[in-house]
Structure formats: C-alpha cells, structure tokens
Amino acid sequence: MDPLSDVLSLLKPENHMSAGFDVAGPWSIAFPDQQKSIKCGAVVTGTCWLAVEGLAGAVRLEPGDGFLLPSGRPFRMASDLALEPTEAGAIFAPVRTGGIVTRNGGGGDFVVSSRFGLGGEHADVLLRMLPPIVRIPAEADRGALRWAVERMMQELKENRAGSHLMVQHLAHMMLVEALRLHLEDRTGSERGWLFALADRQIGTAMRAIHDGPAYRWTLKELAGLSGMSRTSFAERFREIVGETPIDYLIQWRMRLAADRLLRSGQQVSVVALALGYESESAFSTTFKRVMGSSPRHYVRERQDRQPEEATGA
C-alpha cells in the first residue's frame, strides 16, 4: 500500500455518524468536544460560517466547498455566528444512525458531514499533520469529492436497502479525497510525512519505507531511489518530514509493532522478526525508547484500560 493508505489502515477510521442538514432561514449549531476524531463534510447548497473554539476568526463556506476538522475541538456552524447556537445533540438526535435533518421546510443551506473516530494509540500520526480547519474550495477538478457528497446525500434521503453500508464507504471516500486535495493544495511550508508524499523525490523514499518496513534501509539506498546524493537527500527529508529518514523508519516500525502486538496476539519475538529485528532484545530496547514502555508492558497496560473504556469510566 501507499503511505497514506498505510496510516489510515493503522488508524482504522470508524465513521460514527453521517448526516445531512437541510435548513431554511437563520440557524446556528454548536458541536461538542470530539477528541481523536475528524469531521469531514461539504456544503451542497447555500453558505455558512465555520468557527473552531480557540481560533481567531471563522471560515466562510460557499456552495461546493469541503472541509476537514482534525483537531477534535468544539466548533460551530451557522448562517450567522451572532445567533445563539442550538446544541448539535438536540438537532441530530433523530438521525443518530444516519439521515437528513430538515428545519423550516429546508431548501436553503444544505450541509453533509461525517465524523470519524481514530485509533486512540496512533491518532497523532495524522492529526498533528493538519491545521485545525482545512477548507477545500469548490473547483471544477474536484469531481471525486463532489460525486461522493452528492451520492451520500442521495443515500441519506432515500434510505434504500444497503444504504448504511453505502454511506460508510462514501464517508471514507470523502475523507481520503479531502486529505488528497489538502495535500495537493499545500503551500510548501508545512512539515510532516503527509506533505512529503507530494514531493517527487522524497515521496519515492517514503513509499519504499512503507513497502518494506522490515528491510534494513540505508541512507545511501534511500537517497539512490530518490535520485539524490546522501547529503542532499538527508537534508531535504529532514526539512520536509521533520526527522531523519532512519528515525522515520524506526518510528513507523514501532507503530506497526504496537498495532500487531495489540491486535494479533503474536509473541514479541515473532513481531520483532517480522519487522527486521533478529534480536528480541534489540527490538524491545528500541520499542521502549520510541513508545515509552516495553512491548509486554505496553500491551498489558492497554488491555487493562479496555474494560474501563467499555464502561465509560
């Protein structure tokens, strides 16, 4: 898989809710704290304001504009931010399993959105790459996102057999396409693995690392794949990604290891060997340095935490 697919597979984004909001007249909705989640959506018709708590100013969304809210912070959407907001829970309670809320007969502003929960252990892998608000302007070449939004709107309206599964897949398509478009619209000053994917030379090295995380990559080999000298490659990689190529490789290996240890039940020695470590001791030392605890303690701690999370403790 490619690096973006790899990371999203690791995070296992789960669409908790997809809904449409069709309203005529003035409106204002307050959405609560949504930690470790991403809100993704688009304005189908009409216009509205989007404001995230703690940020100065607001973003004006025009017809066809998409948006990502990766910070999980409370936010508001409104036709007029001066209006007293209504809590989102009160508005969307009738469609908690998906659907369209209509107010005042609808026909004015129409917004479709989805909320994704992310794997708690690794959510920062993606969220720290993105600003609190990502606006995706409507343009003629944004057809894939527009198609997904329009098809989701149709599924939410008609509620046909299989609609729940269709909406789930369309929501994931919206999320991936929105991330792609944000990547293409970068200004060039952003840092992180996500933006490295758009760099032809560094992106080649990133894909090689993700294709073969267990391979004993050297700086010389990665630079050769990128068509650069070792010095130029190392400097360029660190400039864009924010860490050295070998540090990135180790970080990615340990995140893969953590996921496998938690979800597969494999022994530490098996996971270590699968990720290129012949010595379990060397693997465990690296794991503790990167993840903060030994592999066995890491798994035990998170397994003990699961019953509490399940009961809402």
Find the radius of gyration of the CA atoms of the chain.
Answer: 22
Q: Is residue 209 classed exposed, middle or buried when 0-12, 13-18 and 19+ CB atoms within 10 A define those classes?
A: buried
Q: Where do the structural domains in the chain lie, given as residue ranges?
A: 11-184, 193-307
Overall average pLDDT of the 76-84 stretch: 96
Overall average pLDDT of the 99-123 stretch: 86
Give residue 312's pLDDT. Answer: 37
The answer as to CATH 3.40.190.10 being correct for domain 193-307 is no
Token pair 């659907």 is at which residue?
99
Give the pTM.
0.78
Q: Which residue has the higher pLDDT, 287 or 145?
A: 287
Indicate the fold that domain 11-184 takes in CATH: Jelly Rolls (2.60.120)
Q: Which residue has the higher pLDDT, 77 or 148?
A: 77
Whose CA is closest to 294, among 307, 280, 308? 280
Q: Which span out of 10-19, 101-110, 175-184 was modeled with the highest average pLDDT?
A: 101-110
The pLDDT mean for the chain works out to: 87
Q: In this model, does residue 264 exceed pLDDT 90?
A: no
